[in-house]
Amino acid sequence: MKRIRMILGPLALAVGLAACSGGSGGSSPAVASPGSGPQIVAKDMKFQQTKVELPANKVDSVAFVNQDGAPHNVAIFTDSSASKSLFVGDVISNSTATYQIPALAPGTYFFRCDVHHEMTGSITAK
């Protein structure tokens, strides 16, 4: 009878996940103080910041301020084809949200409002 070969894949995956799971426990409430972190403002159906810089390789919080009554969000994609999303923010109207942007490798990315695809900008991580 043939022996079943040991499968190392799932074990390696489990070890990888365990290595990433540090830092939980509900600390650091990620308050976006106005003026300190990057901010994206939507007003008059446009992003007021069409070029946004973020630190590369680091989770960062961005304050998204929607001054319109119309719903907007910020969705980040690898490029303007918008085929691969890296982050999709909650859609909000006339309010402010704090988005936790995942760590981005150095480079330039595309963002848009998912409700109004003509609202676009670029994010540079460096």
By C-beta, is 59 or 115 nearer to Cu ion? 115
112 contributes a contact to Cu ion by CB under 5 A = no
Size of the site for Cu ion (CB under 5 A): 4
DSSP state letter for 25: S
- Using the rule CB under 5 A, give the single segment among 12-20, 25-33, 72-80, 81-89 that binds Cu ion: 72-80
Spatial distance between the Cα atoms of 61 and 34, rounded to a whole number of angstroms: 12
β-strand partners of 42: 47, 66
The closest alpha carbon to 111, from 83, 74, 81, belongs to 74
Q: Which of 67, 78, 86, 116 binds Cu ion (CB under 5 A)?
A: 116
One-letter amino acid at 87 equals F
Q: Which of 13, 36, 115, 126 binds Cu ion (CB under 5 A)?
A: 115
Spatial distance between the Cα atoms of 27 and 48, rounded to a whole number of angstroms: 32
By C-beta, is 56 or 92 nearer to Cu ion? 92
What does the binding site for Cu ion look like in residue numbers (CB under 5 A)? Answer: 72, 113, 115-116
